[in-house]
Structure 1
Amino acid sequence: MYNRHSPFASQDSELDRFRFRIVIAAAVVVLAFSVLIGRFVYLQVFQHEYYTTRAEDNRISLVPIPPNRGVIVDRNGTVLARNYTAFTLEITPSTVDDLDDTIERLGKVVEIEHKDKRRFKKLLDESKSFESLPIRTRLSDEEVARFAANRYLFPGVEVKARLFRQYPLGPIASHVIGYINRINKTDLAAIEEKGQESNYRGTDHIGKTGLEQKYEFQLHGETGYEEVETDAGGRAVRSLKRIPPVSGNNLTLTLDVRLQQMTEKAFGDRRGALVAIEPSTGGILALVSTPTFDPNLFIDGIRSEDWDLLNNSPDKPMVNRALNGAYPPGSTFKPFMALAALELGKRTPSQAIADPGFFTFGGHTFRDDKKGGHGMVDMYKSIVQSCDTYYYMLANDLGIDNIARFMGPLGLGSKTGVDIEGESEGVLPSPEWKKRRFRKPEQQKWFAGETISIGIGQGYNAYTPIQLAQAVAALANNGVLYRPHLVKYVTDSKTGEKTMIEPEPLRRLPWKQQNIDTIKKAMVGVNKEGTGARAFAGASYESAGKTGTAQVFSLKGSDYRAGKLKQELRDHALFIAFAPADQPKIALAVLVENGGFGAQSAAPIARMVMDYYLLGKTPDGPAKEDESATEEE
């Protein structure tokens, strides 16, 4: 009989437990291997294609190839913006253990200045750590050779060939051409909004101002790609496939850069602006804002000392006065006031007024610049001699609503639509404008006395030089108004096909030709016997013009003495003109900040511009001011 307390019974029990454990262990092993085999089958059979693709992606890298940026040339083919290739020393921060030490040691091989380190630090703050960032640009051949000999000492550092933008004429037409600079977060947002993310991979720079900004997506081109096989360490082994980039399109401008250059020279060291337009097309021949700046300073990131000089200069060289500066038009407003009077039946050409030298309205006396007045004044004389009293009366008779309705279609007080960003609207005064402009009810009311100053181009009037140029071009073109534009055509870099920017009239103003002729005749008289006669004496062509002087601050009845005022308080000088008078080829508006009388500072510049454009005369230096000019404006 089996005894469960015997030693043999205990051994059998232990053996049973051992066998049970062996079975459990075997089951666990079988299960584990089953899972491994199942996973292996899943990966090798069902996920084979997926992981093959992943492995191939790890083996093959897509390297973007930035395209050549499009070239910008003027109407005669002179290059204004181009590209060139240079070597750059670059660091990929994510692959460098001690960045400061690496830069310090690099400085013993290749010269690295403090400005280079400062720029690199700024780029590092704005960029991703895996991006390659330049520590030195435009290396010489000798510097490239020195680094190549020591390349093994600097993991994560390499020399790359990169494209650089260049503006060969420096500050000439800088406000027109603009400049490029490194892409920032705001630029990235704009790129994403346009759906251009993939096309900007590998691109570091983007247009920031001027035509470089406005035509960015035309100039940029199409990014190419290279498939590169890499080893386990991420080093390139060989190139497998290459899709070449497509260069950006080229821009040909309406601008005549020789005229532009001469005009900037005519201003000398004076602040101001000039816009010259071809009346029959709206093509801009010259767009000047002085002083200018060198756009080449911005390409690699402007040095802080250079930026401080530009940004803190009292002359504000970074401001595009032609598009952003809004100024009272002064007496250049009078020809348009006279035309409004003819069109609305408020005056006839022969209708005359007696000018005692002042006009009294609502207990306030509005004075003419000529003491004692001009005597009997008809429309011709009012423009030729620039009689304020005539236009005080006319403004009162027309009323502010009629003035605003007539001037609006001329483009005054609204953006012209020129192909540069950042244009100002200016101010065309009206009761509706005043309600929008002011918050307090007592400030919103339009007073009849405010209309009087509007008539001579003062008061709330404020227009940009390009608006004045567009308006006088429309007058020269017998009421056909074109949108001012700078690009003549775009050339496709792949096909060579030219896409013309066709001149298209914005509107045809319903003016009577006899009224237009009356105003033109008077403006011809300005340059023959009136306030512009001295500036245009001896000209071999017939021109039409109108001088203007815009107050910077109120004299409160005192006499104007420029020599006793600080320069920034002196009047602005203006001049509008077109020539030849019978078949205009050029129309322009000139502004000289704090230049005094229009005949003194602005008209001589206009004469030099027209002499060059129509006759090919090249001036020796800046336009000389007519110190004897004391015209009534």
Structure 2
Amino acid sequence: MSFHRRSIKDSRGESTLFRMRALVGFGLILLGLSALVVRYSYLQVQRHDEFALRSENNRVKPRAIPPARGLIFDRNGVLLADNVPAFRLEVVPEQVPDMPALLAQIRDVVPLGDDDIDAFKKQLKQNRRFDSVPLKLRLTEDEIARFAINRWRFPGVDVVPYLTRRYPYGPLFAHVVGYVGRIDADDLGRLDADRYKGTSHVGRSGLERSYEDMLHGEPGYELVEVNADGRTQRVLETHAPTPGKNLYLSIDVRVQKATTDAFQGRPGSAVAIDPRNGQVMAMVSVPSFDPNLFVNGISKADYTAYITAEDKPLLNRALKSAYQPGSTVKPFLALGGLEYGIRRPEDTVLSTGEFCIPGQQRCYRDDERGGNGVVNMVRAIQLSTNTYFYKLALDMGIDRLSAWMGSLGFGRKTGIDLEGEAVGILPSREWKATRSKFGWFPGETVIAGIGQGYWNVTTLQLAHVTATFAGHGTPYAPRLVMATAAVKEKPVPLPNPATGPSLIRKPSEWNVVNQGMEAVVTGGTAKAIFIGFPYRVAGKSGTAERFSRRTNDYDTNRNTAYLAARHRAWFIGYTPTEAPRIAVAAMLEAGAWGAADAGPIVRKTMEAWIATQGGAVPAPSEKDAGAATLPVGPGVPAPAEDLEDVPVATPADMPAGVPSESSSAAPPDDGGHP
């Protein structure tokens, strides 16, 4: 008989175990719920504002609205720089999974040049991935239509409207107004990121750069609702930008165009200034360039053509190039002689054709063989007698000569409201000491008296000094912008007070020099140029050597082509002499004679100015030739052409090889002819 054991069920133990498990499970559930409640409270209560903002930002995004750039007008309200609507193709990098593939595919829809791709890749490195980057500017209507049809193929790419800069007069104001260009990596470091949000262009040259702060304005923004793909659904809120201020220039389009046309394509520059206030009425540099090509990125071919051109169209000759002034400095040197008491108007000098420094064998020539005879100050200015000014410079000495000419404005910036102005060179001991181990020599003082040697001036400087003299010695810094205006507001004039008291002590001293400059026009080198002009004109020609003489060809070869290859032609003038209202300086880089070549440019500038005043310019006639002739003494000849400037013979003790820092002039030579 077998015996079977049967286990007895422990109901009480099982019940206790179940109860413990249930309590543990409930505790875990309660703990989990508590943690969930705590976390929910943390997220939904304590950090509610933060996450609500994040959520809203995923749905609503701010988009910068760049301000409209201020416009630029001439003095009569003629538009010189405009904003025109255009469309561009933009890409948001973070929404493009494969950028190289996109660029390859989109070229089949919208033609892209290598310049477009290069510019886009550069900006990709400069911008954040969520910022829109322009791929192509100035889309045509056909390109916009083709992209609209294929838009679904290119996520993150869109056509965006914008305002682009346009210069209606193209090359006519390129060196004055300048141009804008795309913002690059160098600009990002100097520009205020907040102020330039959404802005793609910045002033690069001219007034566009100098007045960038005024022209740019303040950006606005709009809040847009986007979907999960980041596409805009609607605009929720808009805060309009503040447009930049408009600029009103003192330049007159008619005077600017007439002056430019007068050059007939020959390289040179001219500046016209109102002596009463310093306002620039014309500022011309020939040749020029088309600023519209630079706005949205100039092509490599166009840029290469500009920088390799022999006549350097990108160079602002009026502002940045300095040249030897030749005899145009003689009236101002004569004024210095009067101011220092070194000369009286009636003092005379015998001009025999050459001038010798005591103790030296080599002499300095007048251009007129045999000289001009006995000349006083007025006649010396009229005939541009070198001997008179050789002796005056030597008697004055380089220290006083430099101090006086410097007080007029030579050797320093004029203070015009444009960046990049050249300083030029005012001959002085200090200037030479920083460039040569040799001391100052008397021969260098002598040739400084006729605007040769180390001298270098810009056309703007010479126009400024001429205007200062025409204004009876009261200096004004040249100004291009005479007023600014916010949108829908009247223009506000910009003050331009005199920079100092008159530099001329006695009105009689001004009258003497003015009489000499009038004689240049009525009976001197410029007599034939201003026949029939309705107002009295005072002027001075200058024919500066571009190269030193090493042969006698100058004496035997007087044909125009030869002389034009050797000379730089200058003419300065102002009118009407009884109350000057316009002063002009004109320069031709290659001209046979100052009066014959540069004089007509000054006349045409003055004629255009008269026309803007409502006056009529009469046609020249021979019978008017002597109507306004100013007598300056018996026996004064009236040269048929400008022969006043001569290549100088420098003394043997003068060092060679000291650079003149002119844009094209050769350094002064220690050789010459007695």
TM-score scaled by length of structure 2: 0.84
Match of 2:599 among 586, 600, 603: 603
Please name the residue that 2:409 is paired with: 411
Aligned partner of 2:206 in structure 1 is 210
Pairwise CA distance, 1:460:
1.5
The residue correspondences of 1:231-380 to structure 2 (distance < 5 A) are 231-361=227-357, 362-363=359-360, 364-380=362-378
Aligned position for 2:191: 191
Distance 2:558 2:197 in 1: 57
Contact 2:541–2:642 (CA under 8 A) maintained in structure 1: no
Cross-structure match for 1:486: 480
What SS does structure 2 have at the residue aligned with 1:213? Answer: helix
Could you say which residue in structure 1 is the equivalent of 2:427? 429
The one-letter amino acid paired with 1:409 is S
Q: What letter is aligned with 1:577?
A: G
The structure 1 residue matched to 2:495, chosen from 499, 502, 505, is 502
Q: In structure 2, how many angstroms separate the alpha carbons of the residues matched to 1:28 and 1:268?
A: 97
1:185/1:356 Cα in 2 relative to 1: closer, same or farther (>3 Å)? same
Q: Over residues 271-303 of structure 1, what are the superposed CA-to-partner deviations in whole Å (9 max), with x where a residue is unaligned?
A: 111000011111100000110000000011000
> Which of 536, 551, 554 lines up with 1:542 in the alignment?
536
After TM superposition, list the pairs within 5 Å mapping 1:503-542 onto structure 2. Answer: 503-511=496-504, 512-542=506-536
SS in 2 for 1:200: coil
Amino acid at match of 2:344: T
Shift of residue 394, structure 1, vs aligned partner = 0.5
Contact 1:75 1:256 survives alignment (8 Å):
yes
Q: Aligned residue for 2:144? A: 144
- Contact kept in structure 2, 1:608 and 1:619, CA below 8 Å: no
Range moving further from structure 2, 554-563 or 155-164: 554-563
- Other structure's SS at 2:475 match: strand
Q: Is the 8 A contact 1:562 1:570 kept in 2?
A: no
**CA shift at 1:340, angstroms?**
0.4
Which of residues 214, 218, 222 in structure 1 aligns to 2:218?
Answer: 222
Specify every segment of 5 or more residues in structure 1 that has no aligned partner in the other structure, as ranges. 1-6, 9-15, 621-626
Question: Residue 507 of structure 1: SS of its match in structure 2?
Answer: coil
Equivalent residue of 2:432, what SS?
helix
TM-score, L = length of structure 1 = 0.89
Name the counterpart of 1:13: none
* Residue 50 of structure 1, CA deviation: 2.6
> Deviation at 1:270?
0.7
Distance 1:564 1:267 in 2: 17
> Could you tell which deviates more after superposition, 104-113 or 323-332?
104-113
Cα deviation for residue 554 of structure 1 reads 1.4
Q: Which moved further from structure 2: 237-246 or 134-143?
A: 134-143
Distance 2:551 2:376 in 1: 26
Cα-to-partner distance string for 1:191-246 (whole Å, 9 max, x where unaligned): 23xxxx22210000011101111111111122111011223332223222111122
What amino acid sits opposite 1:70 in the alignment? G
Shift of 1:542: 1.0
Instruction: Report if the CA contact (8 A) 1:409-1:509 is conserved.
Output: no
Mark the CA change 1:253 to 1:401 in structure 2 (over 3 Å): closer, same or farther: same
Q: How far did 1:51 drift?
A: 2.5
Matched, 1:165 2:165: yes
Three-state SS of the structure 1 residue aligned to 2:292 is: helix
2:641 corresponds to 1:629: yes
2:670 alignment counterpart: none
> Could you say what secondary structure the match of 1:172 adopts?
helix
| Aligned AA (2:426) | L
Q: Aligned partner of 1:108: which letter?
A: D
SS of the counterpart of 1:238?
strand
Cα deviation code 1:485-525 (max 9, x no counterpart): 0111001115x042211231111224110000000011000
Contact 1:262 1:618 (8 Å CA) reproduced: no
Aligned to 1:3: none
Q: 2:88 corresponds to which letter in structure 1?
A: T
* 1:543-589 CA-partner distances (Å, limit 9, x unpaired): 00000011222114644357698899522111110011111121011
Match of 2:585 among 585, 589, 596: 589
C-alpha offsets along residues 52-72 of structure 1, whole Å, 9 cap, x if unaligned? Answer: 233323332110111211111
- Measured in 2, the distance between the counterparts of 1:174 and 1:144 equals 31
Q: Secondary structure at the match of 1:162?
A: strand
Three-state SS of the structure 2 residue aligned to 1:462 is coil
Structure 1 residue 602, shift from structure 2 partner:
0.6
Instruction: Specify the code of the residue in structure 1 equivalent to 2:166.
Output: Q
Q: C-alpha displacement at 1:133, in angstroms?
A: 3.1
**Preserved CA contact (<8 Å) 1:553 1:569:** no
Partner of 1:153: 153
* Percent of matched pairs sharing the same residue: 42
Q: 1:32 to 1:409 in 2, by over 3 A?
A: farther
- Unaligned regions of 5+ residues in structure 2, if any? 1-6, 9-15, 620-638, 646-674
Paired residues of 1:573 and 1:594 also in contact (CA < 8 A): yes
RMSD of aligned alpha carbons: 3.0
Q: CA–CA distance in 1 between the matches of 2:604 and 2:34?
A: 94
- The Cα of 1:43 is off from its aligned counterpart by 2.8
Q: Identify which of 370, 395, 398 aligns with 1:397.
A: 395
Matched to 1:270, the amino acid is R
Determine if contact 2:259/2:284 at 8 Å carries over to the other structure: yes
Q: Please give the residue correspondences for 1:439-454 in structure 2 after superposition, counting only pairs within 5 Å.
A: 442-443=437-438, 445-454=439-448
One-letter code aligned to 2:540: K
CA contact (8 A) 2:564 2:593 kept: no
Distance, in Å, in 1 between the alignment partners of 2:32 and 2:550 is 101
Aligned-residue offset at 1:531? 1.1
Q: Distance in 2 between matches of 1:211 and 1:385?
A: 40
Q: Are the equivalent residues in 2 in contact too, given 1:562–1:596 (CA < 8 A)?
A: no
Query: How far is the alpha carbon of 1:538 from its aligned partner?
Result: 2.6
- The whole-number CA distance in structure 1 between the counterparts of 2:281 and 2:450 is 29
CA contact (8 A) 2:252 2:281 kept: yes
Give the letter for the 1:177 counterpart.
V
User: What is the identity, as a one-letter code, of the residue corresponding to 1:498?
Assistant: P
Q: Is the 8 A contact 1:180 1:205 kept in 2?
A: yes
Q: Say which SS state the counterpart of residue 187 (structure 2) adopts.
A: helix
Paired residues in the alignment total 609
Q: How much does 1:32 deviate?
A: 6.8
* Structure 1 stretch displaced more, 182-191 or 484-493: 182-191
